[in-house]
Structure 1
């Protein structure tokens, strides 16, 4: 990696839903946080007219259609990958080999083999000071970052039981047309990679330990959808259910769906420990509910923490108390943490190793579902590192 006194040059590959969210973060982060100087140099996409229009709208200096040429440019220092999953491995490993810092959207890859290759590439690049991060943005929601601190401080005691669900309904209508997210060759999986990856990462992040065993089932409710040339088979799952075990002895349940009528973006997490409990709902993302079981029984109960105080994670940079943050702020915090890791020499969190740890759980869920719910034990992996 070449060190330079000029502003860091950023290239982003992909400009659809996630590209818009990441573009907003790059445009906003310097207005609220002290971060190294950078420039939004180039936005990359396959369609020349489409990416040029997006670059103009999102505030990128220029556009391009060849990502290989872009990552070879000496004025590019950071590559932000917002493409469909089947492109993650090739782009990320090439960018790392070229000495570029890399941020890649979750899940890390479409397959376990790709994730392992990406983690190995990141480890090699790290020796040369190259920073890599996987975009599990929900770690950057202040309420969930506070939840991690409460758990790490021992306020819940020994965690015994956890529940996570992530429910959406955008695929309820069987006439919703096909997209890359419904094809295994581009998405890898359905609700599993899209939603369960977030939920699994949150559980491993909050508990500070890894899933060691799973028993799962998956299902596709709508097996065919309208394609450009007529009906097309859906080759990914619509919903997933899993039982989880952790090394400490904690047990958990996981449910994710993209056909849960009436639920729009409902990530719900509950943690039950020997001396306390926590619950969180993404649809009320500025709130965390905490029960201290050491309180006298006559006054014991869940209390609402409004996570908007300057003392709360990330909040000192934002608005006065009680002025709410939104979903988009998690991406701003993600970019802030990436830039600070680059400035300090890393490592960044969540790392590609963390992304690989999630991918192992997703693969085990698929294996278990293929075996009609038979339990699958995961290979031992290094502990999940706590976010700094």
Structure 2
């Protein structure tokens, strides 16, 4: 472990899309926020030697490793940041925790409930020795979402009756879009349900402060076969590629109803086939005293309805969440100067580093990730059985 008490040495596994976002967060967090520990971008690991060296140079990492095992074994690494496909999360995270390293693991936590349960057990054992673990549901750190949670916790919208949540993308609406690891069950665990549906499940539970108890839903795969990537016309996951095409064995879209333990009803939709929608995350919460609405395509705004106002002037209020009094905002720009997608990752680093320094368990915890995993599994089981499924607490 790092010998300097004021430094947190980070090793990251993976350097693609999420690795780039996490790298920027590790760079930016100490430059804009007053952190109790200074993150040191010590090393990045990847299997392709040339590519990982290029990534380290481009993203600002001091050194490289050709395997995650070598990264975990290093004495100068305090924290392992897992930015790999879901099939590797459990193995890497558990090994890191057992080696005494803090862990930040991308969502969804795992590819199955069983893997997630094993990760939670490892995190609980590690916590007894002061080692912390967090799952990366970064949309929680959007200031407007954090404000929504604050308003609900303060009772501003009263008893919650309805939750509506959508995550809409269109990146595979073209049936000739090539097969990627996100469309392979063995690597991704599930499709739209786990990749983007996990986010709105977590947001709904985070904003309401409640958990989902039962679900009924349906999964659908609209395009059952896709072209293999140009660089590999052999099979993916053992599939023969003589035809140049491979099967899609995950869902393209998921829709489900939910009942929360506190009594609220939920309606959820996650799809990669919403033509024209690139990354639309929408959530609305209706309560006995008011309502909240958020749309990621206008991510610096929260819409708030106060049902106690006089009916002649009552209406949804558009709150521009850029004031220094709003969550996270004071460290950035003057009021009205908006922030973007990447800032949630920086806020995640800020909260994680602060909690490690304080000696407290960060949120969302691996247990929170397990709760989401159980909802995902229940939706999938419901789609197969055409029946309501309970979600264990």
Judge same fold: TM > 0.5, yes or no: yes
Residue ranges of structure 1 left out of the alignment (5+ in a row)? 382-388
Distance 2:5 2:376 in 1: 41
Quote how far apart the aligned CAs of 1:4 are: 4.7
Q: What's the C-alpha RMSD, in Å, of the aligned pairs?
A: 1.0
Distance 1:233 1:300 in 2: 53
SS in 2 for 1:289: strand
* From 290, 293, 303, the counterpart of 2:307: 293
Distance 1:159 1:206 in 2: 11
TM-score where L is the length of structure 2: 0.95
Indicate whether 1:34 and 2:34 are aligned: yes
1:235 alignment partner in structure 2: 249
Distance 1:305 1:249 in 2: 28
CA deviation profile, 1:88-113 (whole Å, cap 9, x unmatched): 00000000000000000000001000
CA deviation profile, 1:337-370 (whole Å, cap 9, x unmatched): 1100110012100000100010010000010011
Distance 1:66 1:144 in 2: 36
Moved over 6 A (4+): none
**Superposition pairs for residues 83-102 of structure 1, below 5 Å?**
83-102=84-103
Distance 1:136 1:6 in 2: 26
Distance 1:7 1:326 in 2: 28
Indicate whether 1:18 and 2:18 are aligned: yes
2:378 alignment partner in structure 1: 364
Distance 2:213 2:201 in 1: 12
Distance 1:165 1:41 in 2: 38
Distance 1:274 1:141 in 2: 25
**Superposition pairs for residues 262-277 of structure 1, below 5 Å?**
262-277=276-291
Distance 1:4 1:369 in 2: 52
CA deviation profile, 1:222-241 (whole Å, cap 9, x unmatched): 11000132110001000000
The answer as to whether partners of 2:2 and 2:76 remain within 8 angstroms in 1 is: no
Indicate whether 1:251 and 2:252 are aligned: no
Quote how far apart the aligned CAs of 1:207 are: 0.7
SS in 1 for 2:344: helix
Distance 1:5 1:173 in 2: 52
Quote how far apart the aligned CAs of 1:34 are: 1.1
CA deviation profile, 1:230-253 (whole Å, cap 9, x unmatched): 110001000000000001110010
2:355 alignment partner in structure 1: 341
1:386 alignment partner in structure 2: none
CA deviation profile, 1:40-76 (whole Å, cap 9, x unmatched): 0101011000010000000001111111121111100
SS in 2 for 1:198: helix
Residue ranges of structure 2 left out of the alignment (5+ in a row)? 234-243
**Superposition pairs for residues 1-388 of structure 1, below 5 Å?**
4-5=4-5, 7-35=7-35, 36-227=37-228, 228-229=232-233, 230-372=244-386, 374-379=387-392, 381=393
Q: 1:3 to 1:150 in 2, by over 3 A?
A: farther
SS in 2 for 1:26: helix
Quote how far apart the aligned CAs of 1:208 are: 0.6
CA deviation profile, 1:171-222 (whole Å, cap 9, x unmatched): 0111111110000000000001111100000011011111000000000001
